[in-house]
């Protein structure tokens, strides 16, 4: 006995009916009752979706006529009810439902996803209004628009060809680093607003490490010295920023040279394990909340992101020229570039590995040299900014972290 199966047209009609019912259920709950109820509800949306599917099956021209007819009826409905309800959500949803019904004939899965998305947006009306009018601040809105413009408009316009004097980096990949840093800044801000002071401080320190672990440790040391925050919480945030430094290397790998991930991922896992464990233990015993998030805090710090990206590109240039003097010159150039920022020379190291000009062993050694040199810088910053108690703990955690990393690299080379 042959199995029962639907033809594409039958499947499209069934999906279209389901989509119309799904969207119509939400609109039915919104339309109200009595003489003042809205014009379109469950049956109207189901019929509109079926109409679009049937018209699409019969003829493309009939589908165009059906869409024009539904649009005209939606416009008439709005004209009759505009005094009581100036919004046009229902009318636009009716037109969209007709289009979803048409799409169900050729793309049933995509049309079902669009119907679910539309129904979800309609059902979340109150939450969206609360988010826009109450929760979202004006500064956050403008920063979000800026980030969207940089990522969606400017980034695609950047050249994609690698540049030799930039250590085989392309301008687009360099600018992508700026976008990644801005996204992490936004995530840190959202974490503080959503999670509160105690958890928000830990998450902020962790995410701050993606931008600059050195700057994060300096800021936390200042809070510890001024005793605005319990010492354990500042230590927690500082050590978690070290874990983020290792994770940022993974992000740089994915941006610059995905092929290096299989070689470097075990080292990244070894490096991130200790800071995460220590940070988690310090957070668990960190004390009560004593920090509040300022309403005037900037979401995006474009200047800071550009400076960090410039360090990465500058480090790439230094390492690219140092490689011409052999392995010793490469490691020395890496160390010099990493004094200010651990990630500064890494983009060039990874780009050279991706281009086949740097062996895996030299790549791992270069990464560890960069992390070790910058760990010395971070330890000194911790002692200066937070005092000897804060500095000793942070420097000790960094030293232990580097020792574990070098043991793994030595085992890999052997």
What percentage of residues in the chain have a pLDDT greater than 70?
A: 69
pLDDT tens figures, 260-309: 888 888 888 888 899 989 888 888 775 544 444 445 556 666 665 666 55
Q: Which residue has the higher pLDDT, 159 or 254?
A: 254
- The pLDDT value recorded for residue 287 is 53
Report whether 270 contacts 401 (CB < 8 A). no
pLDDT grade for 7, boundaries at 50, 70 and 90: confident
The arithmetic mean of pLDDT across residues 29-34, rounded, is: 60
Most confident among 23-27, 96-100, 317-321 (mean pLDDT): 96-100
Mean pLDDT of 14-30: 84
Q: Is the pLDDT of residue 18 over 70?
A: yes
pLDDT at 396: 92
Residues 380, 398: Cα–Cα separation, whole Å: 11
State residue 293's pLDDT score. Answer: 45
Within 13 Å, how many C-alpha atoms sit on residue 190's CB side?
11
Alpha-carbon distances, residue 182 vs 59, 104, 146, 170, 176 (angstroms): 49, 39, 10, 19, 10
User: What span, in angstroms and rounded, lies between the C-alpha atoms of 332 and 348?
Assistant: 14
* 396 alpha carbon, distance to own chain's centre: 32
Kindly write down the DSSP assignment for every residue of 55-116, as one continuous string.
Answer: HHHH-HHHHHHHHHHHHHHHHHHHHHHTTT----HHHHHHHHHHHHHHHHHH-HHHHHHHHH
Residues above pLDDT 90, as percent of the chain: 3
Question: Residue 227: left if φ>0, alpha if ψ -120 to 50, beta else—which one?
Answer: left
- 195 and 360 in contact (C-beta within 8 Å)? no
Mean pLDDT of the chain: 75
Segments making up each domain of the chain, as ranges: 8-131, 136-413
Confidence bin at 196 (pLDDT 50/70/90): low
The pLDDT tens digits for 107-144 are: 888 988 988 988 888 887 777 766 666 766 777 777 77
pLDDT for position 291: 47
Side-chain half-sphere CA neighbours of 233 within 13 A: 22
- Bigger pLDDT: 170 or 395? 395
The pLDDT of residue 1 is 43
pLDDT tens, residue by residue, 370-409: 888 888 878 887 887 788 888 899 999 999 999 998 998 8
Please determine, for residue 185, whether its predicted confidence score (pLDDT) is greater than 70.
no
Lowest mean pLDDT among 34-38, 72-76, 355-359, 380-384: 34-38
C-alpha 245/C-alpha 271 separation (Å) is 9
Which pTM value belongs to this model? 0.53
CA separation for the pair 336, 259 (Å, rounded): 26
């Amino acid at each position: 006995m042959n199995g029962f199966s639907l033809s594409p047209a039958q499947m499209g009609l069934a999906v279209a009916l389901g989509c119309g019912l799904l969207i119509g259920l939400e609109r039915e709950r919104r339309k109200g009752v009595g003489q003042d109820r809205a014009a379109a509800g469950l049956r109207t949306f189901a019929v509109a979706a079926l109409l679009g599917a049937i018209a699409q099956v019969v003829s493309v021209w009939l589908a165009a006529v059906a869409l024009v007819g539904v649009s005209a009826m939606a416009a008439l409905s709005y004209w009759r009810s505009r005094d009581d309800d100036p919004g046009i959500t229902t009318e636009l949803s009716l037109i969209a439902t007709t289009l979803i019904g048409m799409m169900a004939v050729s793309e049933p899965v995509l049309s079902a996803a669009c119907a679910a998305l539309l129904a979800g947006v309609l059902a979340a009306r109150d939450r969206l209004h609360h988010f826009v009018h109450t929760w979202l601040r004006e500064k956050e809105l403008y920063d979000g628009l800026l980030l969207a413009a940089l990522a969606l408009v400017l980034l695609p316009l950047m050249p994609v060809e690698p540049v030799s004097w930039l250590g085989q980096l392309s301008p687009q990949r360099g600018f992508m680093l700026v976008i990644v840093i801005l996204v992490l800044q936004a995530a840190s801000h959202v974490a503080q607003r959503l999670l509160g002071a105690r958890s928000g401080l830990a998450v902020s320190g962790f995410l701050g490490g993606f931008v600059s672990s050195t700057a994060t440790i300096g800021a936390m040391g200042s809070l510890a010295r001024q005793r605005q925050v319990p010492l354990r919480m500042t230590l927690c945030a500082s050590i978690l920023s070290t874990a983020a430094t290792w994770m940022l290397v993974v992000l740089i790998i994915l941006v610059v040279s995905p092929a290096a991930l299989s070689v470097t991922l075990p080292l990244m896992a070894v490096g991130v394990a200790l800071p995460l464990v220590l940070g988690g233990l310090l957070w668990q015993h960190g004390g009560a909340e004593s920090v509040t998030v300022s309403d005037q805090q900037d979401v995006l710090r474009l200047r800071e992101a550009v400076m960090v990206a410039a360090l990465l590109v500058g480090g790439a240039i230094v390492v690219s020229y140092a490689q011409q003097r052999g392995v010793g010159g490469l490691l020395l150039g890496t160390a010099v570039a990493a004094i200010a920022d651990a990630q500064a020379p890494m983009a060039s190291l990874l780009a050279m590995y991706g281009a086949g000009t740097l062996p895996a062993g030299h790549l791992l050694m270069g990464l560890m040299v960069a992390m070790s040199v910058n760990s010395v810088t971070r330890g000194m910053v911790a002692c200066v900014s937070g005092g000897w108690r804060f500095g000793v703990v942070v420097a000790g955690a960094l030293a232990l972290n580097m020792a574990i990393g070098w043991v793994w690299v030595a085992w890999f080379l052997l």
